[in-house]
Chain A
Amino acid sequence: MLKTFQIEQNEFLKEIGNIARFTGKFFRTVIKPKQEYKEFLNQCFWIGFKTFTLVGITAFIMGLVLTIQSRPTLVEFGAESMLPAMVSVSLIREIAPVITALICAGKIGSGIGAELGSMRVTEQIDAMEVSGTNPFKYLVVTRVMAATLMVPVLSSLANAISLYGGYLGVNIRGSVSWNLYWFQVFDALSFGDLIPAIVKTFFFGFAIGIIGCYMGYYSKKGTEGVGRSATTAVIVASLLVFIIDLIAVQVTDLLGLT
């Protein structure tokens, strides 16, 4: 039993080392000339545009539900008028970026993991290498860059859409005018809320991209391996989102931005 635990621990540490090496290779490759702009834009479209509907619907429901559920508590304390402010701070600082990142980890992480995994087991990555194209640059760098750029964009859109959901939630039981709602929302928010929330989404996007690519790029054992790559990509990327969020909160706190 102890031996099995030790073996698993060694495998775990080896995997972390491999991911670190993979990340290092990404930074070494990204600065090399001859960028794959066309593939990068293509990936931005697939990652950004094709995920937008899912993120948008989720964000809207998130804002609506959070508002409806927070209302009774605030009413109990006679602080119903604080509802837009409370909802906006919760959504912008924490809920919208994290939920968006988790959705992206599920959709983008698994998509990249499965796509690259299937390319690996059908020798398409080898075929690229043989044709003289650097598959790491063409497949990994473009996807990681697109995820790093698109997750913040999606998160920003999710912020806006969730606040619209919040407006609807406020008005289901109460009556707050459009102008008053937005005045209260922006009055409660500061750059100290917005900037760290946006900055951390770049790290979320990078983590989702790099984990999805790593799992897919080194996929093994045929179709079973492809499925495993996709699943592992989602699990590890989701876990990393929470770890990054935890670190971001600590850093924000240390910098006095809370």
Chain B
Amino acid sequence: MIDMKNSTPIVEVKNLYKSFGSNHVLKDFSMEVSPGENIVVLGKSGSGKSVLIKCIINLIQADAGLLKILNQSIQDMDEDEVDQLRSEIGFLFQSNALYDSMTVRQNLEFPLRRHWSTDHRKQGAEKAVLEALTDVGLAHTIDMMPAELSGGMKKRVALARSLILKPKVILYDEPTTGLDPITSREISELMVHVQKKYNATSIIISHDMNCIRITSNRVIMLIDGKNYAEDTFENLKKSTDPKIREFFD
């Protein structure tokens, strides 16, 4: 069990606001994530879940509020500092975002270009790529193109790419969307395995109840742009609040 009270949060979001024109997506959203935790953010489609993790990694700039990752405020950093911080964060995109003109190997080597020296890459890239692919059970696909892979395999390769730099925090944007229930469960179990092996902290955006049940230590309900409720999956499941019940019924 993770001791949340005695640990400094690895991700801290305070009073976050984000609007797109007149559409106020995040309104005073706050949350804290402790090291080693697997947090799931649950909310309806269009509730701002993806916007939230894109704000955390600074792909989208928040309008107001505080965002701290690994005890550093990402909003106050210059471009180079943000790039450096991003080497500590893995991001699994909903669409996988594999570079379709590159092989699996090149996809995995890509993040190393910026963060490893040429000598380091020459000596260690092959090993790192193989290790990450082995972790997701796809070492044999190393020279394949993304177009040759199935949906589940693409997801695994994308996960391997986000693990290549051994990140401390991994952000998952709807990792099981579009997958069949069996593959979805495999990916969820893989996420738990990866979290244990890399001792990483995960923030998972999902509305797949099976995925949430398997992966979460804690669930945050994002409703009306706010952190409406947070608790374990089992406790939230027992809730009588109609807004929470909507997700479980």
Binding site for B on A (CB under 8 A): 119, 122-124, 126-134
Contacts and interface: CB of A to CB of B under 8 A. Distances in A.
A126 B97 contact: yes
A127 B113 contact: no
What 9 A-B pairs have minimum CB-CB distances, sorted nearest first? A127-B97, A131-B111, A132-B114, A123-B97, A132-B83, A130-B91, A123-B93, A132-B86, A124-B97
A127 B90 CA distance: 10
Nearest to B84: A132
A127 B79 CA distance: 16
B59 A129 contact: yes
A85 B118 CA distance: 55
Contacts of A132: 83-84, 86-87, 111, 114-115
Nearest to A133: B114
Interface string B77-98: 0010001101101010111011
B3 interface: no
Nearest to B57: A130
Contacts of A130: 57, 59, 86, 89, 91
B99 interface: yes
B114 A131 contact: yes
Interface residues of B, number: 23
A128 B115 CA distance: 13
Contacts of B161: 131
B233 interface: no
B83 A127 contact: no
B247 interface: no
Contact of B95 (A123, A129, A131): A123
Contact of A124 (B59, B79, B94, B99): B99
Contacts of A131: 86, 110-111, 114, 161
B113 A124 contact: no
B100 interface: yes
Contacts of B59: 126, 129-130
B93 A127 contact: yes
A119 B97 CA distance: 8
A254 to B, nearest CB: 42
A127 B115 contact: no
Q: Which of A122, A124, A127, A131 has the most CB of B within 10 A?
A: A131
Contacts of A119: 99
Contact of B113 (A122, A129, A133): A133
A119 B59 CA distance: 15
A124 B146 CA distance: 13
B87 A122 contact: no
Nearest to A124: B97
Q: Which of B57, B94, B97, B110 has the most CB of A within 10 A?
A: B97
B67 to A, nearest CB: 15
A124 B106 CA distance: 14
